[in-house]
Amino acid sequence: MKTKRLFLLLIALIAVVLSASVVVGFQHHKDALYTHEQEELEHTTMHLQSELDGQLAALQRTTEIGATNPELARHGSTSQRRALETFVERSSFAGASVIAANGTMTTIVADSGRPRAAVGDDFSDRTYFRRAMDGETYVSEPIEAESGNLILTVSTPLSENGTRVGTLNAAFHLEHGNFFPQFASTLEAEQGLTIESQSGERIYTAAPSPNADLMERQTTLSETGWTVAVSESRVPIQERSRELTMLQGSALVFVLGTLALFGWWVYRRNLAQLEALLAGFEAVENQEYQTRITLEGADEWQRIEHGFNQLCRTLDGHMHERQAYERRLEKQRDDLETLNQVLRHDIRNDLQIVLAYADLLADHVEAGSDGEDYLETLQDSTSQAVELTKTAREMADVMLANADGQRQIRLRPLITDVVADVQSQHADADVSVAGPLPETAVLANEMLESVFRNLVKNAVQHNDKAVPEVTVSVSDDASEVTVRVADNGPGVPDAQKDEIFGKGKRGLDSAGTGLGLYLAQTLVDAYGGDIWVEDNDPEGAVFVVTLPKAE
């Protein structure tokens, strides 16, 4: 169930991420669409400004070039009129006039049929005349003529020998079918154009289609100060945005539907099989080795099913073998406990009785007779047999011991008791402690006493000196304790230093059982320590035991 929840959570997370990606992507696209349209509108406005400024600048340049004709400065002459007619014919202007420096119009060329009544009139109050006399090529505000056309006047100064003698004034008609419409025709259908003069009068208007919900960009012509405004309806953009929204919804439905189908397919193909497999492993974890599973789907699941069921059969067989082995071990343990009881009580008690009667018999054997030698042999053999039963009992205790029964054992009183006990049993030996014994504890059990007792007794029994000398010393560091049992005996040859700890190996020229050192090594290993033998200086051997400190 946990796997299913995780899978569903993963599918939900993927759905959220994909949905968010689709929504964000489409929203970004819609935002980009609006931004693009605004940038395009800005670009179109600036382009129209550049084109209009260019056209007006071209009119100014044409007028300035025409004013360079010296014939135009000869007021009232025939040559002045011919020069003015030539200027009009060769330009896009509808007409032109020359005004003398005193403000009197001297010549005018207009559309055919137009009167020349204005010749001789005073135009000194006209703005375009004054601006031109000030040395500027000036474009006037549009003026509506009687025909309804707007007339634009471009004026530039006329000079003769460096003196301004008048102005050339060219009239340009801003017909609706000519000048401004050529710019409006470059716009898209949903875009409109509005041009206003510097005074705020609307010069030209072409409405966008549709003419609703407009966005607008404005700019000012550098030549005339006119305001150029390009507008565009948001309606087409909104329609495209609605189309994108519908496409977005369709994409979301498709993505979520595809994800749902994929999730169902994965669940049916893999997740359901995985749940069955996990349930099988839980049963195996509970040692239900007779469990069998059935998996469907691809060949891989069939192989997994076969492998799992074969594993269960193998584990089931091993479990039965282990149970049979544990029953055999339990029986052997019971037999060992029975043997331990026999060694502890029956055999040891009988040997103690034999030893006691041998001691009583000593009072009835004459000194120096053969019977005394026989009795001594009997006593020695019986004592060795008692020691053998004691060692065998300790071996049985080791084999029956439980590692969980270990506890902290203080070394100082234990070693003191061992040294005193061995010294009391061997009056002819010198058994002592070298240096102070630290107050240190190790993790062991009551059998630790057997380790040091066997090592000390071994040092006495294997000694070839008249007075065996055995010293026990203890040192410790941060993590372990080292106990050294040194003697003055014959030592241990290098070839035998590893062998003497083997089971049943006897010491040099010894009548011992051979189990004492094996028992010591077995116990030290169980406590997590180490034991080895070194050469003593100047003679003898040193048995070294290291044990980890109790925490």
From 400, 415, 448, the end of a domain falls on: 400
Give the total residue count for the chain.
551
Residue 228 contacts residue 197 (beta carbons within 8 Å): no
From 173, 193, 212, the end of a domain falls on: 173
Average model confidence (pLDDT) for the chain?
A: 81
Q: Is the pLDDT of residue 394 over 80?
A: no
Cα 49-67-100 angle, rounded to 5 deg: 115
pLDDT for position 181: 73
Alpha carbon distance 88, 71 (integer Å)? 14
- Residue 455 pLDDT level (bands cut at 50, 70, 90): very high
**Residue bearing tokens 């047999």:** 385
Structural domain boundaries, residue 120: 67-173
Q: Is the pLDDT of residue 19 over 90?
A: no
* pTM of the predicted model as reported, rounded to 2 decimal places: 0.42
Q: Is the pLDDT of residue 252 over 80?
A: no
Alpha carbon distance 441, 408 (integer Å)? 6
pLDDT for position 220: 87
Bridge partner list, 171: 95, 153
Tell me the helices (H) and strands (E) count for the chain, helix number first.
12, 17
Do residue 456 and residue 497 come from a single domain? yes
Do residue 521 and residue 498 come from a single domain? yes
Alpha carbon distance 112, 127 (integer Å)? 26
Q: What is the Cβ-side half-sphere exposure of residue 440, based on CA atoms within 13 angstroms?
A: 20
- Residue 70 pLDDT level (bands cut at 50, 70, 90): very high
Whether residue 506 lies inside any domain: the answer is yes
Total domains, the chain: 3
Mean pLDDT of 73-94: 91
Residue closest to 444 by CA, chosen among 546, 544, 528: 528
Higher pLDDT, 54 or 373: 54
Q: Is the pLDDT of residue 169 over 90?
A: yes
Q: In this structure, which amino acid lies at residue 551?
A: E
* CATH at residue 536: 3.30.565.10
Residue closest to 52 by CA, chosen among 220, 188, 201: 220
Do residue 420 and residue 536 come from a single domain? yes
Cα 393-394-396 angle, rounded to 5 deg: 65
Q: Is the pLDDT of residue 153 over 60?
A: yes
3-class DSSP state of 472: strand
Higher pLDDT, 229 or 16: 229
90-126 pLDDT, tens digit each? 988 889 999 999 999 999 998 654 555 588 899 999 9
Terminal Cα distance for the chain, rounded? 44
CB contact set of 361 (below 8 Å; sequence gap of 6+):
375
Alpha carbon distance 214, 208 (integer Å)? 9
Q: Is the pLDDT of residue 467 over 60?
A: yes
Alpha carbon distance 462, 10 (integer Å)? 77
* CATH at residue 118: 3.30.450.20
Mean pLDDT of 381-385: 71
